[in-house]
Structure 1
Amino acid sequence: MNGARVRVLLVDDQPLLLQGFAMILSVEDDLEVVGQVGDGAQAVEAVARLRPDVVLMDVQMPVLDGVEATRRIIADHPDVRVVVLTTFDRDDYLFDALEAGASGFLLKNADPDDLVQAVRAAADGHALLAPEVTMRVITRMTGAGPSEGEGEERGIPLPMLTGREREVLEQVARGMSNGEIARAFFVTEATVKTHVSNVLAKLGVRDRVQAVIAAYEAGLVSPRPLSRDRA
Structure 2
Amino acid sequence: MDYTPLLDGMRDRGRQIGGLLHDARLVLCTANRVALSVFVGGAQSSSRVVGAATTAAEGIGLVERLSPTLVVASDVLEQGDGISLVIDLKARWPSLQTLLVVSREQRHQRIQAAIAAGCEGVLPESRLGQGAALAALHAVSGGGIYVDRQLRPAFRNVHRDCAPLETLTARERDVLTLVARGNSNSAIGQALHVSPDTVKTHLRHVMRKLPARDRTHAAVLGLCWDLIEWPDP
Please give the range of the TM-score, normalised by the shorter of the 2 chains.
Answer: 0.5 to 0.7
Task: State the TM-score, normalizing by the size of structure 2.
Answer: 0.67
Aligned: 1:105 with 2:125: no
Contact 1:54–1:119 (CA under 8 A) maintained in structure 2: no
CA RMSD of aligned residues (A): 4.1
Partners in 1 of 2:178 and 2:150 — Cα distance?
A: 13
- Work out the CA distance in 2 between the residues paired with 1:176 and 1:73: 23
Are positions 1:8 and 2:15 aligned together?
Answer: no
**Alpha-carbon offset, residue 127 of structure 1:** 1.0
Q: Which moved more, 1:91-100 or 1:188-197?
A: 188-197
Distance 1:63 1:135, change over 3 A: closer
Change in CA separation of 1:193 and 1:113 when aligned onto 2, cut-off 3 Å: farther
What is the identity, as a one-letter code, of the residue corresponding to 1:9? Answer: V
Residue 166 of structure 1: how far off its partner (Å): 4.2
Identical pairs, percent? 17
Correspondence 1:57 to 2:73 = yes
Classify 1:195/1:10 alpha carbon distance in 2 versus 1 (closer, same or farther; 3 Å): farther
Query: Gaps spanning 5+ residues in structure 1: where?
Result: none
Partner of 2:171: 164
Q: CA deviation at 1:172?
A: 6.2
Other structure's SS at 2:77 match: coil
Q: Which runs of 5+ in 2 are unaligned?
A: 1-20
CA distance in 2, matches of 1:88, 1:207: 29
2: CA distance, partners of 1:134 / 1:115: 16
Residue aligned with 2:119, SS: coil
Q: CA deviation at 1:14?
A: 2.3
Q: What code does the residue aligned with 1:165 have?
A: E
| CA displacement 1:103-144 (0-9 Å, x = unmatched) | 11022232275424433432221111245644542245427x
Question: Which whole-Å CA distance do the structure 2 matches of 1:42 and 1:122 have between them?
Answer: 23
Q: TM-score if structure 1 supplies the norm length?
A: 0.67
The alignment covers a number of residue pairs equal to 207
